[in-house]
A and B are shown apart, each in its own frame.
Chain A
Amino acid sequence: MAVFNLHVNGKVQKVDVAEDTPLLWVLRDHLRLVGTKFGCGVGQCGACTVHMDGAPLRSCLLPVNAVGNAKIVTIEGLSENGDHPLQLAWDEVDVPQCGYCQSGQIMSAAALLKRTPKPTMEEIENTMHGNLCRCGAYHRIREAVKVASTKSVTTKTK
């Protein structure tokens, strides 16, 4: 067991966990940030996507001792009031079916929009191809990312 001071959603959080604990389980079990989901544990489904220093990351594969001082943002910290353009677009386009994959989808899309504020459909598809949606809500996921990209990102992030 070891103590880590993690930068999560704008706060420093102290956890005492085994060094090889994947970030996913630190977030879920120890910090109770359960918006980040467990789907496969092998980096294939994207349900556990968070941001590390602004880049998308599969948190199921990264051991906590590799996080260091990097800034982690989870779905809970994407916006202060749940009003990131993607979160609004997800409602507007009525994307979710079961909804389990959606926080990972939104985090992947948010990293894309940060990098490429006005992505082409092809860029959206290339990025979102890595996130599985078992319900097959892909048409609306794609549409919602496009809708969000047409709105300026003025959201204050945590």
Chain B
Amino acid sequence: MIMSNIRFNNSRRQFLKNISLSSGGLLLGFSFMDAEASDIPALLPKDIDIAGFNSYLSIANDGIVSVFSPNPELGQNIKTSFAMVVAEELDADWNKVKVIQAPLDTSKFDRQLTGGSGAIPHSWKRLRNAGATARHLLVAAAAAKWNVAASECTTENGFVYHKASGKQAGYGELATAASKIIVPADVKLKDHKDFKLIGKPIRNVENKNIATGKPLFGLDFYREGMMYATIQRPPAFGQKIKSVNADEAKSMPGITDVVTFKNYVAVVGDSTWAVLKARKTLNVEYEEEKALESSSDHNAIFSKLMESTDAKVRRKDGDVDAAFKSAAKVLKSEYECPFVPHNPLEPMNFFAHVKEDGVELIGPTQTPGAARKAVSDLLKIPEDKITVDITRLGGGFGRRLKFDYVVEAAELSSIIKKPVKVIWTREDDMGGGSYRPAVRYRFEAALDSAGNIIGYKCRGVGINVENSTRQDNFPSGSIENLLIDSVEHQSPITTGAWRAPVTNFLAYAEQSFLDEIAVATGKDPVQMRLDLLQRAKEKPVGPIRYDIDRMATVIKTVAEKAQWGKKKGVFQGFSVYFSHASYVGQVCEVVMKDGKPKVLKIYAVSDCGVVINSSGALQQVMGGITDGYGTAMYGKLSFRNGEPEQKNFDRYRLVRMKEIFDIDASFINNGIDPTGLGEPALPPTGGAVANAIFKATGVRIKKQPFIDQAPFKS
């Protein structure tokens, strides 16, 4: 037996462990505890716990490779991408790869959450190692069986080959033997040039199930004996329950319980319609607990706090006051964005069963670990007695980072002592908070007589957003005298992370203001940004989070692709943004139609390092741009006495098919380890569109939604 190339490692801390299954086959666990720590910043709520990490892949004797995907799938296509990375290093037959959503298991997985565009960057090396190690073991098993050197063996498409002797064996038949070999401490990963799957357009592994209506989502989950529940929450933020009369609801057919807890009245019954109907008969009186804010109040709050002398300084470079005093010209501009709801198409819902010996939680969540901890804290039940199964999420957009709907389902189950699924209506969802915060920005630029930016100020005033700025993003680092500060107003209206938190509105405002500077100084907006980057490179000012060369490459590439400044008959607007460790530059093309600007096309060039799935990556960019456009154009949640004025899609406008435009999306694909893509294409869009509209009409749109502003509205 030639096993010379196999290193033995009996340490308990070995990086990988292989476990023989009683049914045969190879089950490979890889401990992520020993892998290098990720420094990917996750822009997430503080209460998300990050713990130990493991994952598994298994190979059955029939050759089926099962990849357990730990992170919740909400449309970012992680279930396909994760498996592709494992299969690539394994040299698996993609047709024999099955992907299984893993339940919450903090003893095996770390960062088992979806948010911050962080799953791929976090898992890239770990997944590759898993695949490569399994491949190594299969080769070793084949080499031992054939009594040849492992170095003489090759792998392809689920088989090990020994070309010299013409021998070959499928992974399935080698799996049991491979499972008995102790794993090496490290394995060689492929050269990128040898990738066969990575970079290819691989179809979503769930396409067929989705297209045939299989039960995949939380709302589809059903268990015999389960109750259905709807919860009445206060209609306005700042209210609390004064009295409840549920006599009629209790007497209605199919209703088993009506219970009041915290600020909720839950109606429980044997079907969705029974509880929805009974809920309409509830007579709940509310009283004011906190201020019932209206949008007009927010307007006044923005104006007041914009002049606050108590702002939190986020970044200060040089002597800003002196720069502004010596300026030949000062530009000053304010931008504003309203609250917007997340509106995932699947409304919030969760199944909970609180039993004597533990709790079962099943449903759509971006943060299974944090949800479990919150349920544990509330019910005083240890976390190891609580299981969380993650269904597919019908969209998330950040809403399902919050786990209020998980906790309330568990609390209700503990009160009624029955398994229950709580279902939110669209009105509950849109009225239930955790919105993108409303913000106003003031930008100021001090220009010298040559039009150089010698001073720059940005103040963000946000409602329930602690820091509405990204102080170390571009153009920071390129301007000698710079001040970035923020002020927060704390409101009863709840807010949370919304796809590309903060940058989804900041980028629009900032990229528009940079365009204003270019116009005021007679510079080309693309060249001005490149000049600023050159300054940051030659004479860097303070710390920066972005890579100057990567940003410059994205700018140049998209400008070239769109023939920036050279096209006749269209008005072009430029924007570029760095977020979630990726870079996206966009050129928007607008024409005038019936006296109004109309977007014809957006060119987008993204640098997210290695593109794993070229089909999925395109979806993320095109979807992000469509979302960014729709939200900038139409998104608005306004308030009257603490109550949202839009509660369903009849009054809240989402972008629809006839409003879309061509998108030309491409990637730098520079071989750098992959970074996030679920969010980064969204932030630049609002700015690119607004800048193109300015070019076409001379009107600078300073407030979202655009549809409420000139030139769309007079």
A138-B211 contact in complex given A42-B649, A42-B650, A98-B75, C-beta closer than 8 Å: no
The docked-state distance in angstroms from the alpha carbon of A45 to that of B274 is 23
Interchain CB contact under 8 A, B660 and A98 = no
Check B212–A35 contact: CB distance below 8 A. yes
- Assuming the contacts A94-B203, A128-B657, asked whether A82 and B208 have C-beta atoms less than 8 A apart, the reply is yes
Contacts of A129 in B (CB 8 A): 656-658
Question: Which of A1, A87, A138 is the one whose CB lies under 8 Å from B253?
Answer: A1
Q: With A91-B208, A132-B345 in contact, do A28 and B213 touch (Cβ < 8 Å)?
A: no
> How many whole Å from B223's CB to the nearest CB in chain A?
12
A residues near B443, Cβ cutoff 8 Å: none
Q: Which of A65-93 contact B (CB under 8 A)?
A: 74-76, 78, 82, 86-87, 90-92
Number of residues on chain B facing chain A (CB within 8 A): 63
Classify chain A: how many residues form its interface, as a range: 35 or more
One digit per residue, 1 when the CB lies within 8 angstroms of any chain B CB and 0 when it does not, for chain A 18-42 equals 1011100100111011111111111
**In B563-599, which residues have CB < 8 Å from any A CB?**
none
Chain B neighbourhood of A47, CB < 8 A? 345
Please tell me if the beta carbons of B394 and A100 are within 8 angstroms of each other in the complex: yes
- Any A CB within 8 A of the CB of B216: yes
Contact status A100-B345, CB under 8 Å: yes
CB-CB under 8 A for A38 and B347, given A29-B271, A102-B210, A106-B211: yes
User: Nearest Cβ distance between residue B271 and chain A, in whole angstroms?
Assistant: 5
Partner of B206, one of A20, A82, A99, A142: A99
Residues of B within 8 A of A101 (CB): 345, 394
- A37–B656 Cα distance when bound, in Å, is 18
Question: Quick check: A37 and B271 within 8 Å, CB to CB?
Answer: no
Give Cα distance in the complex from A32 to B397, angstroms. 28
Contacts of A91 in B (CB 8 A): 203, 207-208, 211
Give, as a whole number of angstroms, the nearest-CB distance from B425 to chain A: 6
- Nearest CB of A to B78, in Å: 11
**Assuming the A-B contacts A34-B213, A100-B345, are A42 and B648 also in contact, with contact meaning beta carbons closer than 8 angstroms in the complex?**
yes
Tell me the complex Cα distance, A132–B77, Å.
19
A21 touches B273 (CB 8 A): yes
For residue B182, CB closer than 8 A to chain A, the reply is no
Q: Contact between B272 and A28 (Cβ–Cβ < 8 Å)? A: yes
Whether B213 and A103, one on each chain, are in contact in the complex, defined by CB atoms closer than 8 angstroms, is yes
Complex Cα–Cα for A126 and B339 (A):
30
CA distance A126 to B658 in the complex (A): 7
Which residues of B are found within 8 Å of A133, using beta-carbon distances? 345
Give chain B residues whose Cβ lies under 8 Å from the Cβ of A90: 207, 210-211
| In the assembled complex, B316 has its CB within 8 A of some CB on chain A | no
**Nearest chain-B residue to A82 (Cβ)?**
B212
Q: What chain A residues lie within 8 Å of B211 (beta carbons)? A: 75, 82, 86-87, 90-91, 95-96, 102-103, 106
**Cβ-defined contact, B627 with A136, below 8 A:** yes
Q: Give the shortest distance, in Å, between A142 (CB) and chain B (any CB).
A: 7
A140 within 8 A of B: yes
- Chain B residues, Cβ within 8 Å of A126: 658
Q: Are A96 and B210 in contact (CB under 8 A)?
A: yes
Q: Which residue of B lies closest to A79 (CB)?
A: B212
The distance in angstroms between the C-alpha atoms of A92 and B619, with both chains bound, is 14
A97 touches B (CB below 8 Å)? yes
Q: Kindly state whether residue A61 has any CB partner on chain B within 8 Å.
A: no
Known: A25-B273, A29-B228. A139 touches B216 (CB 8 A): no
A11 within 8 A of B: no
Min CB–CB distance B432 → chain A (angstroms): 14
CB proximity of A102 to chain B, nearest CB, Å:
5
Indicate if A62 sits at the interface (CB-CB under 8 A): no
Nearest CB of B to A63, in Å = 10
Q: Kindly list chain B residues whose C-beta atoms are within 8 Å of the C-beta of A25.
A: 271-273
Most chain A beta-carbon contacts within 10 A, residue among B74, B211, B392, B393:
B211
Closest to A99 in B: B210
Judging by beta carbons under 8 Å apart, are A87 and B649 in contact?
Answer: no
Collect the chain B residues with CB atoms within 8 Å of residue A125's CB.
657-658
Determine whether B277 belongs to the interface, using a CB cutoff of 8 Å to chain A.
yes
Cα separation A133 to B627 with both chains bound (whole Å): 10
Contact with A along B335-372 (1 / 0, CB 8 A): 00000000111110000000000000000000000000
| Complex contacts, A97 vs chain B, CB 8 Å | 75-77, 619, 623
A55 contacts partner chain B, Cβ-Cβ < 8 Å = no
Q: CA of A13 to CA of B74 in the docked complex: distance in angstroms?
A: 33
Within 8 A of A (CB), among B387-426: 392-397, 423, 425-426
In the assembled complex, which residues on chain A have CB atoms less than 8 Å from the CB atom of B392?
A: 98-99
Please give, as numbers and ranges, the residues of chain A lying within 8 Å of B654 by CB-CB distance.
Answer: 132, 134
Q: Give A26's nearest chain B residue, CB to CB.
A: B273
The residue that A132 contacts in the complex, of B203, B273, B656, with Cβ under 8 A, is: B656
Q: Is B445's beta carbon under 8 Å from chain A?
A: no
Chain B residue with the shortest CB-CB distance to A21: B273
**A138-152 Cβ-contact flags toward B at 8 Å (1 or 0):** 111110000000000
The proximity string for B residues 203-233 relative to A, scoring 1 for CB distances below 8 Å and 0 otherwise, is 1101110111111110110100000100000
Is A139 a contact partner of B663 (Cβ separation < 8 A)?
yes
On whether the beta carbons of B253 and A18 are closer than 8 Å, the reply is yes
In whole angstroms, how far apart are the Cα atoms of A41 and B428 in the complex? 12
Question: Which one, B77, B212, B346, B426, contacts A87 given CB within 8 A?
Answer: B212
| Complex partner residue of B207 from A44, A74, A94, A134, CB under 8 angstroms | A94
- Contact B660–A99 (Cβ < 8 Å): no
Q: Say whether A134 contacts B345, CB under 8 Å.
A: yes
Closest residue on chain A to residue B344 by CB atoms: A134
Alpha-carbon distance A95/B394, docked complex (angstroms): 14
0/1 interface trace, chain B 253-290, chain A, CB 8 Å (1 if under):
11000000000000000011110010000000000000
Provide the residues of chain B in CB contact with A94, threshold 8 Å.
Answer: 201, 203-204, 207, 615-616, 619
Q: CB-CB < 8 A to A40: which residues of B? A: 426, 648-649
The answer to whether A75 and B213 touch (CB under 8 A), given A25-B271, A97-B623, is yes
Q: Which of B635-675 contact A (CB under 8 A)?
A: 648-650, 654-658, 660, 663
Please indicate the chain A residues that have their CB under 8 angstroms from the CB of B208 in the complex. 82, 87, 91
**CB neighbours of B344 from chain A (8 A):** 98, 100, 134
Contact present for A17 and B273 (CB under 8 Å): yes
CA gap between A138 and B654 in the complex, in Å = 12
Contacts of A20 in B (CB 8 A): 273, 277
Contact B660 A35 (CB under 8 A): no
Q: Is B626 an interface residue (CB 8 A)?
A: yes
CA distance A153 to B285 in the complex (A): 57
B629 to chain A: closest residue by CB: A136
Q: State whether A137 touches B426 (Cβ < 8 A).
A: no
The reply to whether A138 and B210 contact each other, CB–CB distance below 8 Å, is no
Could you say which of B271, B616, B627 contacts A30, with CB atoms under 8 Å apart? B271
Q: Is A3 an interface residue (CB 8 A)?
A: no
B630: interface (CB < 8 Å): yes
Q: Is the pair B213, A36 in contact by a Cβ cutoff of 8 Å?
A: yes
Residues of the A chain whose Cβ atoms lie less than 8 Å from the Cβ of B650: 42, 44
| Most chain B Cβ neighbours within 10 Å, of A76, A97, A99 | A99
In the A-B complex, list the 7 residue pairs whose CB atoms are closest, starting with the nearest: A35-B213, A136-B626, A100-B394, A98-B75, A75-B213, A97-B75, A44-B649
Can you identify 27 A-B contacts, CB atoms within 8 angstroms?
A17-B271, A21-B273, A25-B271, A32-B222, A34-B213, A35-B215, A39-B346, A39-B347, A42-B650, A44-B649, A44-B650, A75-B212, A91-B207, A94-B201, A95-B211, A97-B77, A97-B619, A98-B393, A98-B394, A132-B656, A134-B344, A134-B395, A135-B75, A136-B660, A137-B623, A139-B660, A140-B622
Interface residues of B (CB under 8 A from A): 74-77, 201, 203-204, 206-208, 210-217, 219-220, 222, 228, 253-254, 271-274, 277, 343-347, 392-397, 423, 425-426, 615-616, 619, 622-627, 630, 648-650, 654-658, 660, 663
If A33-B213, A38-B219, A128-B657 are given as contacts, then 19 extra A-B residue pairs at C-beta distance below 8 Å, sorted by A number, are: A21-B271, A25-B272, A32-B222, A34-B215, A35-B214, A39-B426, A75-B211, A94-B615, A98-B344, A99-B206, A99-B392, A100-B345, A126-B658, A131-B657, A134-B397, A136-B625, A136-B655, A139-B622, A139-B626
